[in-house]
Amino acid sequence: MQVIYPPNPRFKLGQLAAHVVVALIALVVIGGATRVMEAGLACPDWPLCYGSFLPSRQMNLQVFLEWFHRLDAFFVGIVLVTQFVFSLHWAKKLPKWLPWTYGSLTLLVAFQGFLGALTVLQLLPSLIIIAHLAVAFTLVAIMSGVTQQLLNPGKSIFPLWLRCVGFLSLFSVIAQSLLGSRVATSWAAQRCLDFGDSCNLLVLHQASAIPVSFLVVSFVIASSLKRDVFVSQWPYFLTIIFLITTQIFLGVFSIHFGMSEPFLIIGHQLIACLLVAVISALNFKGIGIDESSQSLLLTQSTLETCHG
């Protein structure tokens, strides 16, 4: 059987991967909104909601958030499986690492679904919610990196030592976000602000924000010192600085309003997820051109997927 390759299969999968990054970020944000609006058990069963795919009779804001969160997760799973199948079908025209990566991502999404089921069936245990978020951030980071390797293949734009700083920044942002999730899911912030009880977690989250921000900003500054990198990647650097600044303000205002403003808390998680995506994309960005991408750069513009 003859395999028919589309023009630039690498570019086509890169486009699709960019859209999956957007869907994953939306998934994290909707999950955060579900928690903030106390809608985690709005659908008491799993995987259906009130025994049906679309619970129209029970539908309200809380049910909609939980239902849509599951729908987005299902969509992401289907698209990843599709990408895995295509990466196997077009394996001769694609990097050897790609099918293995997509296979691993598919398993990771299945595990994520398992953790999602446990959050409902075990009545929202804090540690499982944190694990659920950790897998979500891992998916965002890996998928963002895969997108860059597909659309901008080749050797990294950074030397090894600077990539290590970049990955350390990435891991520190994820760890800081998971600590924030622990603060939220254990209600430590509310207990501290209202009753002066269990303040250790909140204080730790606030204190660790300083070294994490310093590390990320240091990565940006060190990267910017390479003139050729700064000229080509300055939008990434400005985006990271903007996100870090916004994240600090959202955190301060969330505490100032006693963690009572849902949009501030949801925005805080959104910015964290965007930071993970952007830092990962920058770390995996390549400068070389291989045979499978030469015609891509001559005939297509990667600006079409810059939103990813």
At 288, the pLDDT band (50, 70, 90 cuts) reads: low
Domain boundary among 104, 132, 154: 154
Domain boundary among 154, 176, 200: 154
* 306 assigned to some structural domain: no
21-25, 168-172, 289-293: which range is least confident on average? 289-293
At 291, the pLDDT band (50, 70, 90 cuts) reads: very low
At 45, the pLDDT band (50, 70, 90 cuts) reads: confident
- Do 149 and 12 lie in one domain? The reply is yes
Residue, of 208 and 290, whose pLDDT is higher? 208
H helix intervals, the chain? 9-36, 61-89, 97-121, 126-151, 160-185, 188-195, 200-224, 227-256, 262-284, 291-299
- Do 146 and 164 lie in one domain? The reply is no
| DSSP 8-state symbol, 50 | T
Beta carbons of 21 and 147 less than 8 angstroms apart: yes
The one-letter amino acid at 226: K
* 3 assigned to some structural domain: no
Give the pLDDT of residue 302: 40
- Do 198 and 115 lie in one domain? The reply is no
Mean pLDDT of 9-27: 91
Angle at 225 between CA 224 and CA 228, to 5 degrees: 75
Domain that holds residue 97: 8-154
Mean pLDDT of 107-125: 88
- Do 113 and 166 lie in one domain? The reply is no
- For residue 19, give Cα distances in angstroms to 16, 22, 29, 60, 298: 5, 5, 15, 28, 22
d(CA 111, CA 88): 22
At 145, the pLDDT band (50, 70, 90 cuts) reads: very high
Give the pLDDT of residue 279: 95
* 126 assigned to some structural domain: yes
